[in-house]
Structure 1
């Protein structure tokens, strides 16, 4: 007890025995070392010796503490441990590795204290050493786990990115490009290749590779013994770990690995379907990637690889559905487009040409249409060089006989598909085409081509029927027109032209007629019946007959129109027809005309410009409104005058006023004033409306009397010479020139014009040759002028000049601005 009466705690806590301090030092739970400032060990406890296996005599006085460390730790001792201890006099929890007596290593944690003299100099270093073997193992496990987690996270990020890329890839090619980018960042793969399954051709198609120079990177049959095909058939992941394993199972892969230096290869099938049901899995391709070193893949890596195969397979399946839908849409658009394009053409040949133009190059690089109907030997071809003719002819005959397509197949030497063009149970012809490389063989493409052939056959058959019906309609139309217009009278000449509307099969109501009323009076008429079809054609024929019946020497145009008004009371379909009717007195050179709602005649007299005759106008035939009084007007005509009667199809257009049409017609008719009459009406129709026009066009052109002076301007075209001869012959007959003189003048004039075209305009197709002819009581004089550039006198001294000199009595050349040849031929007995 203490003095205060309380118990003595010290006495109560004292152990019943006394610990030996030396024993505590030697067997402490950690190692103790005492070293001199230079590191020499001067004292060490038994715990440290037990850990390291050294004898005390091996260390004390013989070894420095740094000598017990591994080389790396020795460097750390020199660069970090010793300087810190010197500066701070203590260091804590320094991790080092101590080399044991048997060479093994013990990881330790070191705490050191530097004791100093009273003067501050280092005296001794006391070091406490803790065994960190368990801790180091735990830390290594944590580090390994962290590294594994980071690698897994990296793979997941790569996989997420790839999945995002796959979701955004709409086509099969884009999916393949996304998949092939996955193995390198996700698994540190060296190279990668992807193959896709073509089920219709039963092949694995090499699509993409990051290193196509390594190995057999090409297409292969699905039945091939090669590793890629085997994995595609099996449908499960396969890892070839080394060259020996590859040599045992897949010699082709072993050869590739040996040549490229690859050591581990992963063959991953790209699948779609439930992963738990192997029977329901469909392999769409194979992804092959390799490593430069042998690689043992972990379970986590294999799981990610399988997941990649499933995601890629689903993306491929989706892309193929998208591609199929897009191709179906493209095919539908193409078929709709080609149907519209063919409907725009109405003629058989034009439709065949349009068909070939649309097929090449959209779906084929060569195509040809051969038809057994229409014009003989009808054929249209486009594209590159045609295939072998004999083989093609054999295939065409086979398709025609069987009325079934003959498709090209893989390895086909001809490589050409022939489609029969059928309609209404018969083969009209064939469409032969060489398909583009990316459109061959697919069953869907064959169905598409069959659909194309059906549509094309129907379109061509419709065009054939159109042409047939159009020909019938035009034949009927022309049979109803006047085919017996007067001719052979030197006092006048007639030229007519009818052009049916290009877009209509029905008979039109436009018509013309010309007939003599008496020996000296000629009637000309052009009319237009309302409507189209057989009723209009019948009405047209009745009107023409009625006009011929009403036309008498005493009636005149006004009374004739009044008679037509009464005729409409019995023939209702003739009501509102338009007519321009004129009677020409051939001896008096006068014309009396009347217009019943029709467009005004156009008259061009030799001494003036062309003008429209706007008098004597009244309402259409049978009209009950407006001015129904019929009037007529008389016009004096000079010899050589030209009169044009026409229907509204010549001048009326939807996109311009009628006055503008009259202006265009006036200019065109005036420009042709000096042209031969033969072909004038057709040429005028070509200039005004072309060959394809919606409305019928009817023209009647009359030249009155013999011109006192014949003047013509010809283009530098040898075909114009025949027209000039016809015009010149008719003019000289009208002037009473005898046959010998007429023949000689025709020969000399023709040769002179031919020389001017050949030599004066040899390089100028737009040159003009002017011809002027006059007749006196004793001679015919012809002047032929050109403004071309002749090469020299020798070019005018040929056979042509000899014929001119032999046929004409006088020939004179004037070479100035061009060349003028003046020729004279005496008439009859006046010839010297």
Structure 2
């Protein structure tokens, strides 16, 4: 039996309470029936108009703060992509039948982001419940002073919350200084690899302490060769960064002993079993040989490197993927593959924050990377790294850390 299609427009109109959709510029896109009934407005008076042109503050009340508070909340949702639950707000509404006459109204608002497939905030859903009658009842029970008592209580609570937030901000600032020092010590300073050109970027997730388990390593090898690696430890914060530092150092040492990517990763996988928090981490190790023009690589559950050829075609090196570190494998040795390259090609290694989005399939992120890489492949490594981040990372910030390594071949 075929399931009936859902009429989402009808669902939106039937939503309880007052609901509106706004653009990131705070212009009304749509409102439900509850909104029109509560405000006494028609759709023609609302749709396509800036929210505060329709509902300005009461000009007769010099203490009115409803417009300022709503604006701050809505813009915060647009900037961060996070929902915002506001305290009860007094926001008077002009009587549509009596211009110049303002009705005292109280509202309990929640503002929620609506995302496009690429993760950008394309709308904000404003949902409010009117609590005017509740406030009036409280006022009656308290001899007419209930509304003022409520406002005073909210103001006091807001001040207390502001003080708590300020203390947290100072503590966070101190933690961030510690975190940045640790990150600088854990990750190598970007430097030339022989006479070849490379660029690295580290981008922390929004809301983190600027430390994570994502890492990279560039190592000069005998002959005209380099070893380049990226990895990702599960989790965020100082603990993940500590694990990251141990794995990065161990793999760098293993490369010099093993002299090939697969046995180096196998040694790292064995070592990961002895490091708490390292199991299930991913890593990708590649050796680049300019004399033979061959890339030899092996992956421990990590996203595949991208190789942009001079003619603009982009290939993903996905023929040697084994399990993450510390996970047993049926084979005695990890898979390893080779790929030839021409002079002028570009090799890009990265962690999953560059391509993965919660709202889309990973193949979409890989295609986006291929298109951007093909378009900017002629740029120098530093410019190319910046262009890739600009094209691929959402402007509102990322929810997962990102490491990017660009090597001109």
TM-score (norm 2): 0.61
Q: In the alignment, which of 380, 388, 392 is matched to residue 688 of structure 1?
A: 392
Structure 1 residues 294-324: Cα deviation after superposition (integer angstroms, max 9, x where no partner): xxxxxxxxxxxxxxxxxxxxxxxxxxxxxxx
Report whether the alignment pairs 1:527 with 2:257.
no
Q: Distance in 2 between matches of 1:614 and 1:649?
A: 18
Q: Hey, which bits of structure 1, 4+ residues long, moved more than 4 A?
A: 333-347, 360-363, 442-451, 625-628
| Correspondences of 1:633-644 after superposition (within 5 Å) | 633-644=337-348
Residues 468 and 679 of structure 1: CA distance in aligned 2, closer, same or farther (over 3 Å): farther
Q: What is residue 558 of structure 1 aligned with on the other side? A: 262
SS at match of 2:296: strand
Q: Which residue of 2 aligns with 1:673?
A: 377
- The equivalent residue for 1:459 is 165
2:192 aligned residue: 486
Q: Secondary structure of 2:381's match? A: coil
Aligned to 1:499: 203
Structure 1 segment 199-238 matched on structure 2, within 5 A: none
Correspondence for 1:701 = 406
1:735-789 deviation line (CA, Å, top 9, x unaligned): xxxxxxxxxxxxxxxxxxxxxxxxxxxxxxxxxxxxxxxxxxxxxxxxxxxxxxx
CA distance in 1, matches of 2:274, 2:152: 63
Which residue does 2:183 correspond to in 1?
A: 477
Quickly say closer, same or farther: Cα 1:626–1:475, change in 2 above 3 A: farther
Contact 2:354–2:393 (8 Å) recurs in 1 = yes
The structural deviation recorded for 1:532 is: 2.8
Is contact 2:258–2:264 with CA below 8 Å preserved after alignment? Answer: no
Contact kept, 8 Å, 1:582 with 1:593, in 2: the verdict is: yes
Q: Which moved more, 1:464-473 or 1:663-672?
A: 464-473
CA distance in 2, matches of 1:342, 1:608: 40
| Aligned-partner SS, 1:630 | coil
Change (3 A) 1:455 1:593: same
- With over 3 angstroms needed to count, the CA separation of the structure-2 counterparts of 1:601 and 1:680, relative to structure 1, is same
Instruction: Flag the 1:535–1:451 CA change in 2: closer, same or farther, 3 A.
Output: closer
The correspondence of residues 330-345 of structure 1 with structure 2, limited to 5 A, is none
Paired residues of 1:599 and 1:648 also in contact (CA < 8 A): yes
What CA distance in whole angstroms lies between the structure 1 residues aligned with 2:150 and 2:282? 59
User: Shift in Å at residue 539 of structure 1?
Assistant: 1.7
Residue 514 of structure 1: how far off its partner (Å): 0.2
SS at match of 1:495: strand
Deviates more, 1:453-462 or 1:651-660: 453-462
Corresponding residue SS for 1:528? strand
Count matched residues: 288
Deviation at 1:481, TM superposition (A): 1.1
Higher relative CO (Cα under 8 Å, sequence separation at least 6) belongs to 2
Q: Work out whether residues 648 and 697 of structure 1, in 8 Å CA contact, stay in contact via their aligned partners in 2.
A: yes
1:526 to partner: Cα distance: 0.4
Question: Where do residues 537-556 of structure 1 align in structure 2 (5 Å cutoff)?
Answer: 537-552=241-256, 555-556=259-260
| 2:347 pairs with 1:605 | no
Contact in 1 for aligned 2:300/2:325 (Cα 8 Å)? yes
Q: Say if 1:485 and 1:628 are closer, same or farther in 2 by CA, change over 3 A.
A: farther
Deviation string 1:129-177 (CA, Å, 9 cap, x unpaired) is xxxxxxxxxxxxxxxxxxxxxxxxxxxxxxxxxxxxxxxxxxxxxxxxx
* Match status 1:661 vs 2:365: yes
Distance 1:337 1:467 in 2: 28
CA–CA separation in structure 1 for the residues paired with 2:247 and 2:405: 17
After TM superposition, give the deviation of residue 617 of structure 1 in Å: 1.6
What is the distance in 1 between the residues matched to 2:296 and 2:72? 54
CA distance in 2, matches of 1:467, 1:341: 26
Shift of 1:610: 1.0
**Is the helix fraction higher in 1 or 2?**
1
Aligned to 1:791: none
- Hey, what does 2:136 align to over in structure 1? none
Deviations 1:212-269 (A, max 9, x none): xxxxxxxxxxxxxxxxxxxxxxxxxxxxxxxxxxxxxxxxxxxxxxxxxxxxxxxxxx
